[in-house]
Structure 1
Amino acid sequence: MRRSELLAAEAEACLNKALSRLKDIWEEIGIPEEQRLQRTSMVKNHIKNLLEMMIEEEEALRKRLMHSIHKCRAEMQRLCLELQLPVFQEEEGLSILQQEKNIRIEVEALMKERAQRMQQLQDLLDQEQDLCHTLDCKAFGLTADAVPSQEQLESFKHYISHQNAEKAQRHAEFRELKKRVILCMEELDHIPESSFEKDVVHEDQDSCLSTDNAASLRLLLHQLEERRVEQEGRCQAHRVKIEQLWELLQVSTGDREAFSEHMVASRRRNLEALQAEERRLEELKLLNIRGVTDALRSQILALWEKCFYSSEQRQDFPAFFRVDFDEDLLALHEAELHRLKQHYEKHQELYSGVHRWRESWRHLQELEKKAADPSRFTNRGGNLLKEEKLRRELQKNLPKLEKKLKVQIRSWESEQHCSFLVNGQTFMQFVEEQWELHRAQKEKERLERLWKKSQQLEEDMRYGTTVQSPIQHRFLGQTTPKKAKQMFNATSSTSCGSSQRLLYSGCRSPGPIPTLSATKAPTVQTLGGFKPPHPGFGGYNKENKGQPNGTPPCTQRNVSMASIAITYSKFVRDLSMASNSKIQHRVLNSTSTNL
């Protein structure tokens, strides 16, 4: 049983007890029956009115709860619609009081959510207003009249964040542009004229970072930079002209240093100073026309050399040879010098390549000359390998450079519609001629070496050879008889053997004689490069008799003077015939008889 039912039963028992007590009191008092009925009726009416009043109050409470439920439901539906949220689903089987409580709590939560969204919206709208004023951009589109959804708020927040980043970027850009504009104005000594220029220089432009202002600021900066570049170009042109005039007029170093301040900066006052200095130098130039003209001719001559002008090409500028110095002649020389400078600068790569080829060619010839010098072996010092390596590199790189120059020359000739000449002849013809001269020189040197070897061979066959054995001198000028006899025998036998080798040497290329070793082997030295044979051994020459003391005579054939006195051409012809036969130890017909 419920507690409320127990309380109702207790109330009923109390009522019955109270009525019973009243009855006892009335009986004890002796109240008549009619008054008892009247009093009992009053008790009943009082209890009835009290209960009815209580019922009315509870009924009013129920109605208020039901009204609150209906009102909260309506409010909840409206809030869910505004907040774009799903409708709250009520639980079934709940009492009116619980339903009202649940709905009321949900409505309060929705109202709180709505208030938060509206506050966020208002904050974002305030930021948007400031950004739109600063950046001069369009609004996002949300207003304070409607409650935004959560997605709209997120998008709005992202938009505001993006605009803040854009504001920071524009702020930095405006600062940089403003700084550069002010710097250009200072370099140009420019005074702000328009209201926009004054605002840029004197006021803070961060209050309006619109794209129009940015475009105007960029345009102003572009105009100022163009003026600055133009002014720098004019200053540079004046500097170049002033330096040329300084060189022509041979201005002292002290005067140049006194003017050095204006040779660096390019402000308006520097430009005015440069213009004044150029006018002053031009006046001095007119007063010294002959000296200036001679200086210009020196520069023209140097450019002619760089551009490989021939005598005929130089004759195309007859003013170079005139002696009547005046302003017109000076102007002609200045124009010709300017034309030559432009021409050389335009084709500097080609001319530099030709100069590089000539320098490499000269270096190669020097190395070839050193390689052919026998004395280079006396002082080595590691230079032989370096020179040989450099010579091979030059021989390898020169054809590559010639090929590259050939392409450049072809392009130059198609552009200039004339042939590229080096000292009056085409470059490739010049190169081929140099190579042909080089090959001819090498052939000439080879023939000279062959002729010298043949002459040496004739002298060896005519006068014989000498043998010097290395002698260890205990005392200067002192020799023992035994050693003298041994040296005599060795000299005779070696001389005989050398004569036989000389007779057969025509079939091979003469090789170098090996140097002495530590074993004291005898060394054969020809008369062409050393002293004549010892007079004591004159009777034992190859063309005379055999060796004394029973020594077997040398197997040597008699060689006549006619066979020795051969011509160089016949020797070369016989040498070629012997080489082609590929037979070793064959005796040439012109140098010996049959064995």
Structure 2
Amino acid sequence: MDRRGSYISSQLTVINDKLQLLYDEIGISEDERNTRERNLYSAVSHALEHQVEEVTAEKENLFKSCQDLREQLLTMMAALQDVQDISLSCQAGGDLEIKPPLMTAFETLSNKHQELKGLYSQRYQKAHELFDSLRMLSTAIEGPDIDSNSFLSLSPDTLSLTDTNLAALEAEVARLSEEYKHRVRIVQEDANQIVTLWAQLGTSQHNIDRNILAYYKDRPEMLGLTNAHLEKLSAKKNSLQDEKESRLSRLSATKAAVQYLWAKLSEDEAAIKAFDRANRGIALHVIEAYEQENARLNEKKRDHMQIFIEDARHTLHRLWDNLYFSEDEMLEFTPAWTDIFTDASLAAHESEIARLEQLLQERKPTLALIGAYRELQQDIVELEQSQQDASRLMSRGPGRRDPSRLLREEQMRKRIAKRKPKLINDLMTALRKWEKENGRPFMVNGERFLDILHEEEAAAKVRIIILLYTEWLTILIKLNLVIEIAKNSCTPNSGFRISLGVYCKANCR
């Protein structure tokens, strides 16, 4: 028997002896004494069992606390698996096994728990804040382009709190933050444009969204940042922009017609300025005012129809000149040659002007080449006339001689020689292409321009041959004259020699 058992046994013996003595002195019967002894033994046994139960519960509680600490430690170590020292202590359970004595195990586990708690709490709090931000941003933005489901299905309790995972979570929050800011900017820009368009269009109060006015400056995010919100706001902006463009087009056409009629009908300048000041912008009442003014001027126009028809005829003549129309082509439009001044006549003139402007636009590239060719031909004529002027070399006295004239002639000759072949080739190519596409000759002043071009080129070649022949003949004549003079140079006549010197200087090159 160990010391603790011997002590209890001796104590029980002492107590029993005292009780027996007391029982003897009292004179308690044997049966009563047996009953009291059984009650005593039962109480002692119950007290001992109660103590055993309490200690057993204490042991179980301590074991449960150890288990809880161990579970928390394993959770923290799993979450902090990128920390090298922790990973090493976790191998095969390490010193995390729960074995007697339990107080020592509890103390060991508590110490390890305290070591990890700081780092784990720091990372856990950071992850918690990041998840809160992620959910807030995802809820605010929510759209098919927001791919955060893989993170939103987790939590700080289920996510491994490694630096890598936290960095990925931070990156996702940063990405959504940028998307959030981007959408805020889009909403604010669209809302600003909407408010501006409302002002420009003169939108009535009951057609203005009060929420946009309340939040567009300082809290645009309150207007919503989801795809649906953005699309709705963009659609409103586009609708207003389309309305603005429609009104601008409508007003521009009406305003141009009114200004044209003001000028033609010599309206009062002060009245025009007053009308213009009173009707600024693109509100509906401004457009309606211009349309009413246009209607009034058109009524007045009917009383002065001749002015407008004469103006249209001037435009027709300008277009005929630009298109190189022949007289027969001009006479084809008979309304231009009658004394009829009606709405129908003006409409016919305007229709013909529109047709000719379209024709001018279609022929513009070819007409530009024809214009360049004619300018080049004029330069050639001017050069030939300049070369045939013999006095340009013999002018004397200040203000009469032009020393740079020969240089300019040479520069012009080189420019013509360089430009002419390419211009003629481009022009012929353009004319042939036009005739092929339209199935008719390209006419200039009633003649097919390709034929004119061929004739002018042929005439130019003939002129060159004649010019070369003339220059060659002139040189022969001058040479013969010089020979004759040289034969008579032996005559002792100083006056004759002086005359010969002057002649050679003036005529021989």
Structure 1 residue aligned with 2:157, among 146, 156, 160? 146
For 1:2-81, what aligned pairs fall within 5 Å after superposition?
Answer: 71-72=65-66, 75-81=69-75
Q: 1:262 to 1:402 in 2, by over 3 A?
A: farther
Secondary structure of the equivalent of 2:366? Answer: helix
For 1:27-426, what aligned pairs fall within 5 Å after superposition?
Answer: 71-72=65-66, 75-81=69-75, 83-84=78-79, 85=81, 86=87, 88-89=90-91, 90=94, 101-136=107-142, 140-142=151-153, 146-150=157-161, 151-191=164-204, 197-204=209-216, 205-207=220-222, 208-245=224-261, 248-249=264-265, 266-377=282-393, 378=395, 379-426=401-448
Query: Does the CA-based 8 Å contact 2:69-2:110 persist in structure 1?
Result: no
Cα deviations across residues 242-300 of structure 1 (Å, max 9, x unaligned)?
45445655668777766666999555454334323433332333212222211111101
Q: 1:376 to 1:242 in 2, by over 3 A?
A: farther
Query: Does the CA-based 8 Å contact 1:420-1:426 persist in structure 2?
Result: yes
Q: 1:385 to 1:456 in 2, by over 3 A?
A: closer
Deviation at 1:122, TM superposition (A): 2.9
Secondary structure of the equivalent of 1:324? Answer: coil
How far apart, in 2, do the equivalents of 1:157 and 1:490 lie?
114
Whichever structure has more helix as a proportion of its residues is 2
Q: Tell me what 2:503 maps to.
A: 525
Query: Does the CA-based 8 Å contact 1:466-1:524 persist in structure 2?
Result: no
Amino acid at match of 1:339: R
Query: Does the CA-based 8 Å contact 2:191-2:212 persist in structure 1?
Result: yes
Cα deviations across residues 302-334 of structure 1 (Å, max 9, x unaligned)?
001111222232233122212222221111001
Q: 1:240 to 1:118 in 2, by over 3 A?
A: same
How far apart, in 1, do the equivalents of 2:279 and 2:409 lie?
47
Where do 5+ consecutive residues of structure 1 fail to align? 1-60, 470-485, 495-519, 530-595
Q: Tell me what 1:550 maps to.
A: none
Q: 1:311 to 1:521 in 2, by over 3 A?
A: closer
For 1:466-485, what aligned pairs fall within 5 Å after superposition?
Answer: none
Query: Does the CA-based 8 Å contact 2:302-2:343 persist in structure 1?
Result: yes
Deviation at 1:423, TM superposition (A): 1.4
Q: Tell me what 1:489 maps to.
A: 493
Deviation at 1:438, TM superposition (A): 2.9
Secondary structure of the equivalent of 1:325? Answer: coil
Deviation at 1:366, TM superposition (A): 1.6
Query: Does the CA-based 8 Å contact 1:245-1:285 persist in structure 2?
Result: yes
Q: 1:466 to 1:120 in 2, by over 3 A?
A: closer
| CA RMSD, 1 decimal | 4.3
% same residue: 19
Secondary structure of the equivalent of 2:503? Answer: strand
Deviation at 1:341, TM superposition (A): 1.8
Cα deviations across residues 119-143 of structure 1 (Å, max 9, x unaligned)?
2233223323432343235764145
Q: 1:489 to 1:419 in 2, by over 3 A?
A: closer
Cα deviations across residues 500-531 of structure 1 (Å, max 9, x unaligned)?
xxxxxxxxxxxxxxxxxxxx8951639x99xx
Query: Does the CA-based 8 Å contact 1:76-1:110 persist in structure 2?
Result: no
Where do 5+ consecutive residues of structure 2 fail to align? 1-54, 82-86, 396-400
How far apart, in 1, do the equivalents of 2:385 and 2:493 lie?
43
Could you state the TM-score of these two structures normalised by the residue count of structure 2? 0.69
How far apart, in 2, do the equivalents of 1:238 and 1:167 lie?
45
How far apart, in 2, do the equivalents of 1:428 and 1:109 lie?
102
The 10-residue stretch of structure 1 (317-326 or 151-160) with the greater mean CA deviation from structure 2: 151-160
Query: Does the CA-based 8 Å contact 2:69-2:109 persist in structure 1?
Result: no
Query: Does the CA-based 8 Å contact 1:360-1:398 persist in structure 2?
Result: yes
Query: Does the CA-based 8 Å contact 1:72-1:107 persist in structure 2?
Result: no
How far apart, in 2, do the equivalents of 1:391 and 1:74 lie?
108
Q: Tell me what 2:457 maps to.
A: 435
Amino acid at match of 1:523: G
Q: Tell me what 2:32 maps to.
A: none
How far apart, in 1, do the equivalents of 2:267 and 2:426 lie?
43
Query: Does the CA-based 8 Å contact 2:135-2:152 persist in structure 1?
Result: no
Deviation at 1:336, TM superposition (A): 0.6
Cα deviations across residues 205-226 of structure 1 (Å, max 9, x unaligned)?
4222111111111111111111
Secondary structure of the equivalent of 2:341? Answer: coil
Deviation at 1:431, TM superposition (A): 2.1
How far apart, in 2, do the equivalents of 1:145 and 1:490 lie?
127
Secondary structure of the equivalent of 1:525? Answer: helix
Q: Tell me what 1:58 maps to.
A: none
How far apart, in 1, do the equivalents of 2:283 and 2:385 lie?
59
Q: Tell me what 1:572 maps to.
A: none
Q: Tell me what 1:583 maps to.
A: none
Cα deviations across residues 224-251 of structure 1 (Å, max 9, x unaligned)?
1112122222223234434544565566
The 10-residue stretch of structure 1 (262-271 or 358-367) with the greater mean CA deviation from structure 2: 262-271
Secondary structure of the equivalent of 2:371? Answer: helix
How far apart, in 2, do the equivalents of 1:437 and 1:251 lie?
57
How far apart, in 2, do the equivalents of 1:247 and 1:109 lie?
94
Amino acid at match of 1:306: N
Deviation at 1:458, TM superposition (A): 10
Q: 1:159 to 1:267 in 2, by over 3 A?
A: same
How far apart, in 2, do the equivalents of 1:392 and 1:437 lie?
20
Secondary structure of the equivalent of 1:209? Answer: coil
Deviation at 1:147, TM superposition (A): 4.2
Query: Does the CA-based 8 Å contact 2:73-2:112 persist in structure 1?
Result: no
Q: 1:454 to 1:112 in 2, by over 3 A?
A: closer
Secondary structure of the equivalent of 2:357? Answer: helix
How far apart, in 2, do the equivalents of 1:450 and 1:383 lie?
23
Query: Does the CA-based 8 Å contact 1:192-1:198 persist in structure 2?
Result: no
How far apart, in 2, do the equivalents of 1:313 and 1:201 lie?
64
Deviation at 1:427, TM superposition (A): 2.5
